[in-house]
């Protein structure tokens, strides 16, 4: 049992009474009301956050570079090489490379690919929509984000899907409030998606991140307000809605066991950012 004058459990070096004592009182009160509260291991301290933010800066710059260079006629392998080179040159590591056998430094998912598309010699063409998903490790800490890119002039339905999916992400971010709930995020996202006639992929979701690649909690992109784990200050996680033009169901490429496709062959889009819950709102770690 931690005492008030003991060092705080968070590793800040401060006395417990000057650091997380009041925080723990709030968690205890919420738990007594039947709420699911986060364990201490999900709360990042300032040292963690310093390096997570630095990883976020590199990750954001990588996606900025992709945005400057991506064009029709480019292969997805060339995108992967851009990501690898920039990340390594800045003293960081691309987290996907070698993760559970994944062979590349980023994911490139085109048109009806939902996520985990593997870069190869596929040539981007006019009218494609492409998601590039990068995760950066810096000083042992992680930041994660993805963006959609439209290649040249795209069809109006494709452009609308890309734009609405970004609105879904923004609505999810706006729903993040200290001492709110994970379900608030999903409720906000599914409302935007369904109002536009789209479906939300439920086979994949956002996740805790920062001290590891994938941490608790799962951030579902459908939900009900007031339900799910409490969002406490110090939690870091991704919101990454995958929105389909047609049905929400999918299948995994049997040849590589990674790439997921829409079951009906219709388009899919995704945007992702890493976020920190603060005392008064939310901080966006990756742009």
Structural domain boundaries of the chain?
Answer: 38-284
What percent of the chain is modeled with pLDDT above 70? Answer: 100
pTM for the whole structure: 0.96
Q: How is residue 98 written in tokens?
A: 């070698």
Report d(CA 183, CA 228) in Å as an integer.
5
pLDDT at 249 over 90: yes
List of residues 6+ apart from 183 with CB closer than 8 A: 220, 223, 224, 225, 226, 227, 228
In the block, which residue shows the tokens 């001290």? Answer: 211
Q: Residue 146: which of 162, 126, 127 has the closest Cα?
A: 162
Q: What is the DSSP letter of 10?
A: T
For the stretch 153-176, pLDDT in tens is: 999 999 999 999 999 999 999 999
Give residue 287's pLDDT.
Answer: 86
- Read off the pLDDT band of 91 (50, 70, 90): very high
Question: Which is it for the CA torsion 213, 216, 217, 222, positive or negative?
Answer: positive
Q: How is residue 96 written in tokens?
A: 């996907």
Evaluate whether 247 touches 199 at the Cβ level (below 8 Å). yes
Q: What average pLDDT does range 194-219 have in this prediction?
A: 98
Q: What is the DSSP letter of 70?
A: -
pLDDT at 26 over 90: yes
Give residue 166's pLDDT.
Answer: 98
Give residue 250's pLDDT.
Answer: 98
For the stretch 125-148, pLDDT in tens is: 999 999 999 999 999 999 999 999
List of residues 6+ apart from 195 with CB closer than 8 A: none
Q: How is residue 133 written in tokens?
A: 């998903």
CATH number of this structure's domain 38-284: 3.90.230.10
Evaluate whether 86 touches 62 at the Cβ level (below 8 Å). yes
Report d(CA 161, CA 193) in Å as an integer.
9
Q: How is residue 234 written in tokens?
A: 């110090």
Q: How is residue 172 written in tokens?
A: 């999810």
């Amino acid at each position: 049992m931690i005492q008030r004058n003991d060092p705080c459990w968070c590793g800040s070096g401060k006395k417990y009474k000057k650091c997380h004592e009041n925080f723990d009182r709030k968690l205890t009160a919420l738990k007594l009301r039947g709420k699911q509260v986060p364990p201490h291991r999900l709360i990042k301290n300032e040292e963690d956050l310093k390096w997570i933010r630095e990883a976020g800066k590199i990750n954001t710059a990588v996606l900025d570079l992709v945005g400057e260079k991506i064009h029709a006629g480019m292969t997805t392998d060339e995108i992967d090489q851009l990501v690898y080179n920039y990340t390594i040159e800045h003293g960081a590591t691309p987290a996907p490379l070698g993760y559970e056998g994944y062979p590349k430094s980023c994911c490139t998912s085109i048109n009806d690919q939902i996520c985990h598309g593997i870069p190869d010699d596929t040539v981007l063409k006019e009218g494609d929509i492409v998601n590039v998903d990068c995760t950066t490790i810096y000083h042992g800490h992680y930041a994660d984000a993805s963006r959609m890119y439209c290649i040249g002039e795209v069809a109006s339905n494709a452009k609308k899907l890309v734009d609405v999916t970004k609105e879904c992400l923004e609505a999810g971010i706006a729903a993040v409030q200290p001492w709110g709930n994970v379900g608030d995020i999903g409720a906000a996202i599914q409302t935007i998606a369904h109002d536009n006639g789209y479906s939300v992929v439920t086979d994949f979701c956002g996740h805790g991140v920062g001290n590891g690649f994938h941490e608790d909690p799962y951030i579902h992109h459908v939900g009900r307000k007031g339900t799910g784990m409490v969002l406490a200050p110090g939690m870091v996680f991704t919101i990454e809605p995958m929105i389909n033009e047609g049905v929400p169901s999918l299948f995994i490429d049997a040849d590589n066991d990674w790439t997921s496709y829409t079951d009906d062959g219709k388009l899919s889009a995704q945007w992702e950012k890493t976020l920190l819950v603060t005392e008064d709102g939310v901080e966006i770690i990756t742009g």
